[in-house]
Amino acid sequence: MMDNGRRRWGVPLVALGLTALFAVGGCSAGSGGSERAASDNAAPGPAAPEAAGGDNAGSKDTSAGAGGVDLRVDQRAIIYTGSVRVQVEDVDRAAQDTVALVTAAGGFVGGDERRGVDEHARADLELRVPAARFTGVVDGIAKLGEQQWREIRTEDVTEQTVDLDARITTQRARVESARRLLARASSIDDLVSIENELGRREADLASLEAKKRRLADLTALSTINVSLVTENTRSSDTDETGFLAGLADGWRAFLESVTVLVTVLGALLPWLVVLAVPVVLVWRLARRRRQRRAGQVAPGAPAYPAMAAPVPAGVGAPTRPAAPAQRSGAVAAPQPMTPAQRPAGADATPKPDAAPRPGAMPKPDVAPKPDAMP
């Protein structure tokens, strides 16, 4: 009896459990399908602002980008950059036609560099044109002459734009929160702290907005670098080889080095002149002091050499003047004649009346000439 009752109640319970399990599974599957359908329906919505450059993107763009939804080509933020080189007969005329073409397309000239004359002339132009007119302007420039080469580069910045939009939205919310806290500040310390935090958040928000404007400008206006050359214009893009090319490069490097040295010398010349004046004055003053010290006489030394005293005539007197007297320029004393020098019949002893008076200088004998001496 009891076994039959258990069997009778067990079958309905198992059936009820299976029914409940299938019901829960069906509900979860239905909710998942509805979520996928909602996300699929919401995906194309935020793609439209991106086609305009990403200026009006909001928080919905962030959710769509985070979901990994692939945008169409015309809905993505792409930066176009082109370079084209055209050989023309008249560089100035071709440059004017290029400027007119860009102006008609709604763009403008960002840079204009021209060098050389006549057959060696060259013009390098930087053009900014709307992205929608990019291809047409490049084709129009190529038709001005003979196109030598063309290069087109693209950069997809859709993810950067979406990321900037999300960060800007978050930063704006943080700024508003800081402003509300500043309005409720009750103490000086809280007021100063909240003001500093608010200033930092506003600076971060301004930086993010500047980056977004930069990306929007690059995506809205494409850049085209144009080189207009003649047939004889030397191409700076090709490297020449060989002895003559090396010699020419070396000569140009030498001239550039000389130019740099002359420029540096010209920049330093005013400073050298200013510094040279006091240096020359100090040098001249030191030189005068050295000359003055060298010309001074030592203390205690006679200013002039002493003159030798006269030697009286007599026997035993020196036959030659003293060497110091000759070197100093003093007047030599008269020397007596030797017996060999005396004339015949002359007496060797002076006569009494021939004696010199006291205080009188004796008359010197005439000295024989050098060739008459024995």
Domain boundaries along the sequence of the chain: 164-211
Residue 272: predicted pLDDT: 86
What pLDDT score was predicted for residue 170?
95
Lowest-confidence segment of 99-108, 121-130, 187-196, 307-316 by average pLDDT? 307-316
The CA-to-CA distance between both ends of the chain, in Å, stands at 189
DSSP helix/strand/coil, 187:
coil
The whole-angstrom separation of Cα 74 and Cα 242 is 50
Mean of pLDDT values over 55-83:
57
Of the two residues 352 and 109, the one the predictor is more confident about is 109
Give the pLDDT band of residue 107 (cuts 50, 70, 90). very high
Q: What is the average pLDDT across 127-150?
A: 92
Q: Which residues pair with 43 in a beta bridge?
A: none
Determine contact, residues 86/147, Cβ cutoff 8 Å.
yes
Encode pLDDT of 36-48 as tens digits. 333 333 333 333 3
For 246-302, the pLDDT digits (tens) are 888 889 899 999 999 999 988 888 888 888 888 888 998 988 888 888 876 555 555
Q: Which residues of 41-63 are buried (b: 16+ CB within 10 A; e: fewer)?
A: eebeebbebbeebbeebeeebbb
Q: Are 86 and 123 in contact (CB under 8 A)?
A: no
Taking only the tens place, the pLDDT of each residue in 205-243 is: 999 999 999 999 998 999 999 999 987 665 554 556 778
Over residues 316-347, the pLDDT tens digits come to 445 555 454 444 444 555 566 665 566 555 55
Find out whether 87 and 230 touch, Cβ atoms under 8 Å. Answer: yes
- State what percent of residues in the chain have pLDDT above 90: 32
* Residue 53 predicted with pLDDT over 60: no
Q: How far apart are CA 161 and CA 172, in angstroms?
A: 16
Q: What pLDDT does residue 326 have?
A: 47
Predicted confidence at residue 58, as pLDDT, reads 38
| Helix extents (H) in the chain | 2-42, 47-51, 59-66, 91-104, 134-142, 158-183, 188-220, 243-295, 323-328
Q: Report yes or no on whether pTM surpasses 0.75.
A: no
Q: Return the exposure string of 199-217: e unless at least 16 CB atoms fall within 10 Å of the residue's CB, then b.
A: eebbeebeebeebbeebbe
Residue scoring higher pLDDT (371 or 151)? 151
Q: pLDDT digits over 114-131, tens only?
A: 887 777 789 999 999 999
The fraction of the chain above a pLDDT of 70, given in percent, is 57
Q: What mean pLDDT is reported for the chain?
A: 72
DSSP conformation letters of 77-110? -EEEEEEEEEE-S-HHHHHHHHHHHHHHTT-EEE
Contact 94, 176 (CB under 8 A): no
For residue 142, with 0-12 CB atoms within 10 Å meaning exposed, 13-18 middle and 19 or more buried, which class applies?
middle
List phi, psi (to 5°) of 345: 85, 0
Alpha-carbon gap, residue 211 to 255, rounded angstroms = 44
C-alpha distances out from residue 353 to 311, 343, 356, 357, Å: 21, 20, 8, 10
Tell me, what's the pLDDT at 150?
A: 92
Q: CA separation (Å) from 283 to 274, 293, 338?
A: 15, 16, 63
pLDDT for res 295: 72
- Looking up tokens 């030797």 gives 338
Query: What would the pLDDT profile of 177-195 be if each residue is shown by its tens digit?
Result: 999 998 888 889 988 999 9
User: CA-CA distance, 171 to 201, in Å (whole number)?
Assistant: 7
Contact (CB, 8 A) for 48 and 75: yes
At residue 263, the pLDDT reads: 92
φ, ψ at 82 (rounded to 5°): -130, 155
pLDDT band at 57 (very low <50, low <70, confident <90, very high): very low
User: CB neighbours (10 Å) of residue 133?
Assistant: 18
Which of the four pLDDT bands, split at 50, 70 and 90, describes residue 196?
very high
Q: What average pLDDT score do residues 136-141 get?
A: 92
